[in-house]
Amino acid sequence: MEITAEQIKAMHVTAFDEVMKEKLVPMIGQEVAMTVQKTVENLKLQRETFGKDMTGLSTKAKKDFVQVVKAAVFKDFTIDTKANEALIEEQDNRGGYLVSREVAAAIMRIAASVGTILSQAAKWDMTSDELGVPNYTGSFLKGSYLNVDAAGSVTGLTFGQAQLIAKKWQLAFVVGNDLLADASENLADWLLALGGEALANMIDYQGFVGGANSGDPFLGILNYPSTTTVDETGTKVTSYVLPTGSTTFAKYAVLDDSSAMIGDLEESILPDAGFYMHRSVWAKIRIQKDTAGNYILPYAGWAKPDPAMQSFAGGGPIKPAGEILGYPVFTNRWLPAVGASSVNGFSDTTSNPFIVFGNMRAFAFGDKGEMRVAQFESGSFGGKEIALADQRGIVYKHRHAMTLALPRAMVVGKTAAS
């Protein structure tokens, strides 16, 4: 059977993907490499189906981006350059380049396709390093009735200000020079996907558990100041404590506790609200039984017309993994896991937060816009001199900010104290 040029090209692309994943596994791990590969495959599928992918970049734009990473001859490319001191303060003897806003936007779109918070949070464009985001902190408005021939009262609106302060994020990794030899669209997919995956992971970590470790620049939802009552001032999240005796994550009673958390959220915030938890917590919830010993989750065709709980295969940080009482369930690797022992400051024991119910539109993400990329032909990356390994170091930098603009839009579930 004759092999066509298209089939040869497809085999080359597949072989390249396998080599790329193999090269990256020692540096980023098998699981992350597989996730990035899945993103690359999605980009290809989108191009085959729709003629373009989520990045919005043309083939030429992607090849130009690879050339930027390689720091090749730039006279044919429309890119911006910056002085070393402004670009890489820590390495003023190294060169670097500011990638176009189109490339930065492409990486942000990829990040939003794999990360929970970036896909759901409210986006704010930042032209400076600080931006004040207004949030209403007064009581719920009711107005008043007028008496005959009498002036009505004036209701004062009280607005607070959540501050977005941009911080610099960096991703550094190494790639063999043999893989960088060709400025191909396929290589661009991998470089873009790596940046998007890493950025989404960091934003999810900071958004959910930020502040758990020294050096965290942002405060995550689980570490936000809390109160056990609905906070009318809008400065604290509502904390729901499981009943006495429920001292581990697995003790979460899916219908009782979920209903209570839903009841703690104001009606106007309920549209677009959802549950957020670690996949291991969702795994325990899925097998809960009622008092008669039957699984609550519809199973093996036992589903009622309107089940109180459902499970969707293949769900996770973007696609819902299921539903509880009509609200979607999203799982995320950074939330506390069943059996956790002081992971990011959280343990599967008494008085620990582990589950969130809320409207992620109340979370603000500020995008500074610029994304920079630098390449290094020498130096120590991960304790290895890359010049001796025929590799090249690649560093992404991006400035962004995040904050919980309306804390009362979140309910955080905690284990009981005893």
Same domain, 36 and 121: yes
C-alpha distances (whole Å) from 382 to each of 34, 169, 172, 270, 372 are: 21, 18, 9, 46, 21
pLDDT at 222: 96
DSSP 275-319: EEE-HHHHHHHHT-B-TTS-BSS--TT---SS-SEEE-TT-SSSS
Count of domains observed in the chain:
2
Would 142 be classed as within a structural domain? Answer: no
How sure is the predictor about 6, in pLDDT bands with cuts at 50, 70 and 90?
low
Nearest to 275 by CA among 311, 327, 336, 206: 327
**Rounded CA separation 13/44 (Å):** 10
- More confidently predicted of 214 and 301: 214
Residue 144 lies in a domain: no
Residue 147 lies in a domain: no
**Comparing 162 with 85, which gets the higher pLDDT?**
162
In the predicted structure, residue 167 carries a pLDDT above the cut 70: yes
Closest CA to 270 of 219, 325, 228: 325
Domain for residue 343, yes or no? yes
Place of tokens 């940080």: 317
DSSP state of 349: S
Query: Could you tell me the sign of the dihedral formed by the alpha carbons of 122, 127, 130, 133, in that order?
Result: negative
Residue type at 88 in one-letter notation: I
Q: Are residues 329 and 381 in the same domain?
A: no
Instruction: Please check whether residues 12 and 75 belong to one and the same domain.
Output: yes
Per-residue pLDDT tens digits for 324-356: 999 999 999 999 999 998 888 899 999 999 999
- Span 253-275, pLDDT tens digits: 999 999 999 999 988 889 999 99
Query: Does residue 156 lie in a domain region?
Result: no
pLDDT at 179 over 90: no
- C-alpha to C-alpha distances, 269 to 257, 368, 408, 409, 411, nearest whole angstrom: 19, 28, 9, 6, 11
Q: Are residues 83 and 42 in the same domain?
A: yes
Are 56 and 186 part of one and the same domain?
A: yes
Please, is 189 exposed, middle or buried when counting C-beta atoms within 10 Å of its C-beta (0-12, 13-18, 19+)? buried
Please check the confidence at residue 101 and state whether its pLDDT lies above 70: yes
Q: Are residues 343 and 370 in the same domain?
A: no
The answer to whether residue 152 is domain-embedded is no
pLDDT at 8 over 60: no
Q: What is the structure's pLDDT at 156? A: 47
Specify the higher pLDDT residue, 163 or 303: 163
Contacts for 159-162: CB closer than 8 Å, 24+ residues apart: 159/134, 159/135, 160/134, 160/135, 160/136, 160/234, 160/235, 161/132, 161/133, 161/134, 161/135, 162/132, 162/133, 162/134, 162/135, 162/364, 162/403, 162/404, 162/405, 162/406
Whole-angstrom distance, CA of residue 94 vs CA of residue 87? 9
Query: What pLDDT, on a 0 to 100 scale, did the predictor assign at position 153?
Result: 55
Residue range 306-328, pLDDT digits in tens: 677 888 888 888 999 999 999 99
Q: Is residue 150 part of a domain?
A: no
pLDDT given for residue 93 in this prediction = 36
Residue 113 lies in a domain: yes
Q: What is the pLDDT of residue 95?
A: 42
CATH classification at residue 261: 3.30.2320.10
For the ranges 64-68, 122-126, 278-282, the maximum mean pLDDT occurs at 278-282
Q: Are residues 254 and 329 in the same domain?
A: yes
Q: What is the pLDDT of residue 77?
A: 37
User: By residue range, what is the domain housing residue 99?
Assistant: 5-131+164-211+364-404
User: DSSP labels for 172-230?
Assistant: EEEEETTTTSS--HHHHHHHHHHHHHHHHHHHHHHHHHTTSSTT--S--GGGS-EESS-
44, 175: one domain: yes
| 68 and 50 within one domain | yes
Q: What is the pLDDT of residue 212?
A: 87
Indicate if 261 and 375 belong to the same structural domain: no
Higher per-residue pLDDT: 152 or 191: 191
190 and 64 within one domain: yes
Q: Are 294 and 347 members of one domain?
A: yes
Per the CB < 8 A criterion, the answer to whether 110 and 54 are in contact is yes
